A and B are shown apart, each in its own frame.
Chain A
Amino acid sequence: MSELSQNAKQVIAEHLPRYPNKQAVTLPALHVVQQEKGCVSNKAMREIAEILELSPAQILDTATFYGFFRTEDNPLGQKRIWVCRSISCMLRGGEELLAALCEKYGIAPGETTPDGKLTIELAECLGACDGAPCILLEDELHLRCSLEDVERLANEPLKK
């Protein structure tokens, strides 16, 4: 059975005509797979490589360069929250927020809660320094966050 969903294959196919070569579809392909599965498995990488006419090692090389993608031995939880620790957020309590959140859920940055619900990540500058400390939930920025704000976001039901 194919590891890539119909949707993933379709997204990849839609991207192919946009670029003069197939390798350029690597990031869009990794994004759609991780979005659906919470990680990019070895089998998915082999299938992406086959479609893009690359070696699986090239996909692995790119996937692991970016801190964003997860391999199958380290999948994401249902929600992923990034807490910014760069200079503007650090000056307004970003580091303390990250530490407090990790303590609250008993995990370190990069880890997922045992129930698989939440992954906490440390982030470098998220580009919302006017709202420090800020966090990123999936790909949405939330500004001026207290620990309570982040907990509330973590506990909200998943958007579908």
Chain B
Amino acid sequence: MSQTEFKPVLLGRVGKPDSQSLASYRADGGYEALAKALKMTNTEVIDVVKNSGLRGRGGAGFPTGLKWTFLPKDITGPVYLCVNGDESEPGTFNNRVLIEEDPHQVLEGIVISSFATRTTTAYFYLRYEYGKCYRALKQAIDEMYANNLLGKNILGSGYDLDIYLHRGACAYICGEETGLIESLEGKRAWPRIKPPFPAIEGAFRRPTVVNNVETMACIPHILKHGPEWFQSMGIPKDPNNPRDAGSYGPKLYCISGHVNKPGLVELPMGVTARELIDKHAGGVWKGRTAKAVIPGGLSMGFMTNAELDTPLDFNGPGRVGCLGLGTAAVVVIDDHTSMVDVLYNSCRFYAHESCGQCTPCREGTAWSTKILERIRQGKGKLSDIDLLMEISNSIGVMPGTTICGLADGAAWPIKTAINKYRSEFEEYIKSGRRSESAALAHSH
């Protein structure tokens, strides 16, 4: 499918009058996919999702249908579905728009997914900051109960489900799935050691699936149009790589930073950052050029201008040294911006949001911030650059020193900034210059 004829799927109803209401959702064919799913067996629904090749949209890109099959086969007692609406990755706002504008699309996906996983209680963990989303969801859920789309015997199928909204309290770590579970349980959001994975032992020590909001929004469309339709979009599996699961379906790309028209764009997976910036975001602002671009939320690290033709599918960003596609949130940094300031902002974020459980992360994020503070005060040493690299190579799940991936997210901006812009750091330190932006110093 060429991109010129692409019609938005997930954003198809955004901007329509009254797009949040059940009546308007139903007028556009809403809940037909649910009715279809409820006539199938739960394993048939799982197979459809599996065959579609849908991979989780929250950042890790794990195949959704496969995740569901990890639930034990002969479960007695409750299974939980937790919807991860703790969207907090810097640069990312796609879940917010989906919920604010079309809450029923997300909720229909949750009911179908709950049915597939034999869940009878689903928790929607929503970050506190999304008050408008909270009210939209609350109203939509009330409408669903009033119309037999939730509660007992949904649409006469014999299937029962309750969805409860659970508001977070402003902590990035709650987006990590086991941190989310701990937070849901009323505790500090310290991620759990895995295994056991949530599918075996999750919320309330019961088998649990945690799925992202955008992933849920894809589900009704897959049920309605079939796996082949979903696979007609995106980048197919690499035939030479048996481990590649492909990058199928439509994807929401957030574009922010130094562009003329920041916003949310939906395209088949695999568009390049250059095309997003030039065609869909009105180009870099003030006639400038992009010095660096974050491909999928801050944790993914930086791409250089020369790397902007990389396709933003699940594999592309990794090929140019980034951590991955992440949340597909593209942040554009223009050529008037200091990478020292950008990296300081990044390190400070992870230091602020590290939960403090694992020493390498708690200390590594704090020390990298302090080193960059020192550099920005004109007191840096050239050896600081290697020290930053040493920290970035020793914190995270990949070097095997932390429980969750927050530290990998802290490390990748450091690695990619220094590997790709090392001379800028060296010149900054040698010149003994202080950051021009006084406001930046006003940090804690």
Chain A residues close to B by CB (< 8 Å): 18-21, 23-28, 30-31, 52, 58, 61-62, 65-69, 82, 85-88, 90-92, 95-96, 98-100, 102, 109, 123-132, 136, 138-141
Query: Hey, which chain B residues are within 8 Å of A95, CB to CB?
Result: 437, 439-440, 442
Chain B, residues 190-219, CB within 8 Å of chain A (1/0): the string is 000000000000001010000000000000
Number of interface residues of B (CB under 8 A): 64
Between A21, A23, A90, the greatest number of chain B beta carbons within 10 A of the residue's beta carbon is seen for: A90
Name the residue of chain B whose CB is nearest to the CB of A61: B188
- Chain A interface: which of B164-172, B305-313, B400-408? B164-172
Query: Hey, which chain A residues are within 8 Å of B95, CB to CB?
Result: 127
Given A24-B184, A62-B186, A88-B257, are A129 and B129 also a contact pair (CB < 8 Å)?
no
- A138–B132 CA distance with the chains assembled, in angstroms: 11
Q: Which of B204, B294, B342 contacts A21 (CB 8 A)?
A: B204
Do B353 and A124 touch (CB < 8 A)? yes
Do A124 and B88 touch (CB < 8 A)? yes
Do B349 and A86 touch (CB < 8 A)? yes
B247-264, CB < 8 A from A? 254-258, 262-264
Name the residue of chain A whose CB is nearest to the CB of B130: A127
Given A87-B331, A129-B256, A139-B134, are A67 and B93 also a contact pair (CB < 8 Å)?
no
Query: Hey, which chain B residues are within 8 Å of A18, CB to CB?
Result: 121, 162, 164
Is B87 interfacial (CB 8 A cutoff)? yes
Q: Given contacts A20-B78, A27-B186, could you give 4 more A-B pairs where the C-beta distance is less than 8 Å?
A: A86-B298, A87-B298, A90-B341, A125-B90
Do B129 and A136 touch (CB < 8 A)? yes
- A133–B12 CA distance with the chains assembled, in angstroms: 27
- A136–B132 CA distance with the chains assembled, in angstroms: 11
Chain A-chain B contacts (Cβ-Cβ < 8 Å), number = 167
Do B91 and A125 touch (CB < 8 A)? yes
Do A129 and B262 touch (CB < 8 A)? yes
Name the residue of chain A whose CB is nearest to the CB of B285: A92
Chain B, residues 413-442, CB within 8 Å of chain A (1/0): the string is 000000000000000000000000111101
B313-355, CB < 8 A from A? 329, 331, 333, 337, 341-342, 345-346, 349, 352-353, 355
Is B369 interfacial (CB 8 A cutoff)? no
Query: Hey, which chain A residues are within 8 Å of B131, CB to CB?
Result: 138-141
Q: How far is the CB of B175 from chain A (nearest CB, A)?
A: 11
Chain B, residues 80-97, CB within 8 Å of chain A (1/0): the string is 000000011111110110
- A111–B93 CA distance with the chains assembled, in angstroms: 28
Do B189 and A65 touch (CB < 8 A)? yes
Query: Hey, which chain A residues are within 8 Å of B204, CB to CB?
Result: 19-21, 24
Given A21-B185, A65-B171, A129-B91, are A88 and B256 also a contact pair (CB < 8 Å)?
yes
Between A25, A61, A98, A130, the greatest number of chain B beta carbons within 10 A of the residue's beta carbon is seen for: A130
Do B442 and A86 touch (CB < 8 A)? no
Do A66 and B169 touch (CB < 8 A)? yes
The 4 A-B residue pairs with the shortest CB-CB distance in the complex, in nearest-first order = A139-B131, A26-B186, A65-B188, A129-B256
